[in-house]
Amino acid sequence: MAKKVGIVAGSISRFDNPRHTLQEEMCAEAVKMILDDLPDLEIGDFIKKGYACCYSYFSDILEQQQCMHWIIHDYLGLSAVPAYRVESGGATPIDAIVNAALWVRSGMFPVVLVVGWEKMNELPIQKVNEAIAIAGDTDWDFVSGFTYNAFYATLEARRMHVYGETEEDLAEVATLCHNNSLDNPYAQWPAQHGFSKITVEDVYKSRLISWPYRLYECAMTSEGASAMLLANEEMTRKLTDNPVWITGVGFGTDTMRPGDRPDNPAWKGLYPEDEKIWPKEIPRPMSPYPDLTNFGSLRVAARMAYKDAGVKNPRKEISLVEIFDPYAGVVLAGLEDFDFCKRGEGKKLLREGVIAPDGELPCQLSGALTAQGHAVGSTSVAQVVDVYWQLSNQIGKKWGAPGRQLGNPKKGFIHGHGGTGCQAGAVVLEV
Amino acid sequence: MMKQPGPEKVLKEQKIDEKYWDKWEREGGWRPVGWKIIEMNDGTTLNNLKPSQFMVVHRPHADFYHHSYGKVSKFFMGLLEGKLYGTKCPKCGLVYCPPRAHCFNPKCRLAETEWIELPKKGEVYSYTIMVIAWPSMAHLQPLVGVMVRVDGTNTCLPMTMRDIDPEKVNIGLKVNIHVEKQARGDLLDVYATPAEEPKPPQRTPEELKRFRDDMEKTRAWVKKTFG
Name the residue among A137, A204, A292 with its Cβ closest to that of B126: A292
Coil vs helix vs strand at A230: strand
Q: Residue B45: its chain A contacts at CB < 8 A?
A: 12, 14, 185-186, 400
Interface touch B47/A257, C-beta < 8 Å: no
C-alpha A325/C-alpha A321 separation (Å) is 12
Residue B16 lies in a domain: no
Say if A74 falls within a structural domain: yes
What pLDDT, on a 0 to 100 scale, did the predictor assign at position A3?
75
Provide the shortest C-alpha distance from residue B136 to chain A (in Å). 9
Q: Are A158 and B126 within 8 A, CB to CB?
A: yes
Say if A325 falls within a structural domain.
no
Find the CATH number of the domain harbouring A229: 3.40.47.10
Answer whether residue B13 is part of any domain.
Answer: no
Residue A109 burial by Cβ neighbours in a 10 Å radius (0-12, 13-18, 19+):
buried
Q: How far apart are CA A298 and CA A313, in angstroms?
A: 17
Query: What pLDDT, on the 0 to 100 scale, is given for residue A1?
Result: 45
Does the beta-carbon distance from B54 to A20 stay under 8 Å? yes
Are B133 and B221 contained in the same domain?
Answer: yes
Provide the domain limits for residue B49: 25-58
Considering the domain architecture, whether residues B180 and B221 belong to the same structural domain is answered as yes
Nearest CA in chain A to B60: A123
Nearest to B187 among A143, A155, A207 (CB): A143
* Minimum-distance CB partner of B128 among A20, A141, A157: A157
My answer on whether B43 and B85 are in the same domain is no
With respect to residue A231, please indicate whether it lies within any of the assigned structural domains. Answer: yes
Cα nearest neighbour of B167 on chain A: A211
Confidence (pLDDT) at A392: 98
Mutate to test the interface with A, among B30, B36, B40, B44 (most CBs of A within 10 A): B44
> What's the confidence (pLDDT) of residue A376?
97
Whether residue B107 sits in one domain with residue B50: no
ipTM of predicted assembly, 2 dp:
0.94
Nearest to B45 among A146, A185, A264 (CB): A185
CB–CB contact B188 A14 (8 Å): no
- For residue B147, give how far its alpha carbon lies from the nearest alpha carbon of chain A (Å): 7
Total structural domains in chain B? 3
Instruction: Give the domain range for residue A234.
Output: 5-122+222-244
- B139 contacts on A by Cβ (under 8 Å): none
Q: Given an 8 Å threshold on Cβ–Cβ distance, is A208 in contact with B94?
A: no
Q: Identify whether residues B131 and B207 lie together within a single domain.
A: yes
Flag if B92 and A265 touch (Cβ within 8 Å). Answer: yes
| Conformation bin of residue A194: beta by default, left when phi > 0, alpha when psi is -120 to 50 | left
DSSP string, A113-167: EEEEEE---SS-HHHHHHHHHTTS-TTTTGGGT--HHHHHHHHHHHHHHHH---H
Domain presence at residue B20: no
User: Does B3 map to a domain?
Assistant: no
Chain A residues touching B104 at Cβ < 8 A: 260, 264-266
Confidence at residue B114, expressed as pLDDT on a 0 to 100 scale: 98
List the B85-88 sheet strands across, edge first.
Answer: B95-96, B85-88, B114-117
Of B42, B94, B217, the CB nearest to A20: B42
Residues B76 and B104 in one domain: yes
> Torsions phi, psi of A247, nearest 5?
-95, -15
* Alpha-carbon gap: A59 to the closest alpha carbon of chain B (Å): 15
Q: What is the pLDDT of residue B133?
A: 81
Residue B5 lies inside a defined structural domain of this protein: no
Structural domain contains residue B1:
no
Q: What is the pLDDT of residues B49-91, one digit of tens each?
A: 999 999 999 999 888 899 999 999 999 999 999 999 999 999 9
Q: A259 and B155: CB-CB below 8 Å?
A: yes
B198 lies in some domain: yes
User: Is residue B143 one of the residues assigned to a domain?
Assistant: yes
Q: What gap in Å lies between CA A113 and CA A123, rounded to an integer?
A: 30
| Contact call for A139 and B149, based on CB within 8 A | no
In a domain, A56, yes or no: yes
Q: Which residue of B has its CA nearest to A287?
A: B154
Nearest CB to B105; choose among A149, A185, A265: A265
Q: What pLDDT sits at residue B135? A: 78
Ranges under pLDDT 70 in chain B: none
What is the domain count for chain A? 1
Q: Measured between CB atoms, which of A143, A262, A265 is closest to B107?
A: A265
Based on the fold, state whether residues B199 and B112 are members of the same structural domain. no
Q: Report the residue from A144, A158, A263 with minimal CB separation from B171.
A: A158
Express the helix, strand and coil content of chain A in percent, nearest 5 each: 40, 20, 40
* CB proximity list for B19: less than 8 A, separation 6 or greater: none
For each of chain A's 431 residues, which pLDDT tens digit applies? 457 999 999 999 999 999 999 999 999 999 999 999 999 999 999 999 999 999 999 999 998 899 999 999 999 999 999 999 999 999 999 999 999 999 999 999 999 999 999 999 999 888 898 889 899 999 999 888 888 999 999 999 999 999 999 999 999 999 999 999 999 999 999 999 999 999 999 999 999 999 999 999 999 999 999 999 999 999 999 999 999 999 999 999 999 999 999 999 999 999 999 999 999 999 999 999 999 999 999 999 999 999 999 999 999 999 999 999 999 999 999 999 999 999 999 999 999 999 999 999 999 999 999 999 999 999 999 999 999 999 999 999 999 999 999 999 999 999 999 999 999 999 999 99
Same domain, B132 and B190: yes
CATH at residue B196 = 2.40.50
- Residue A135 inside a domain? The answer is no
List, for residues A9-47, the tens digit of each pLDDT value: 999 999 999 999 999 999 999 999 999 999 999 999 999
> Are A143 and B188 inside 8 Å of each other by CB?
yes
Contact state of B132 with A210 under an 8 Å Cβ cutoff: yes
Q: Is A200 exposed, middle or buried (0-12, 13-18, 19+ CB in 10 A)?
A: middle
CB contact under 8 A, A260 and B127: no
Give the number of other Cβ atoms within 10 Å of residue B92's Cβ: 15
The reply to whether residue B46 touches residue A160, judged by beta carbons under 8 angstroms, is no
> Residue B143: its chain A contacts at CB < 8 A?
145
Shortest CA distance from A281: residue in chain B: B172
Examine the domain organization and report whether B167 and B194 are in the same domain: yes
**Contact: A150, B130; criterion CB under 8 Å:** yes
Residue A118 lies in a domain: yes
CA distance A406 to chain B (A): 21
Cα gap A185→A187, rounded to integer Å: 6
Using CA atoms, how far apart are residues A90 and A379, in angstroms rounded to an integer?
Answer: 8
Predicted local confidence at residue B136, as pLDDT: 80
Q: What is the pLDDT of residue B122?
A: 98
Q: Which residue of A has its CA nearest to B150?
A: A259
What pTM value is reported for the model? 0.96
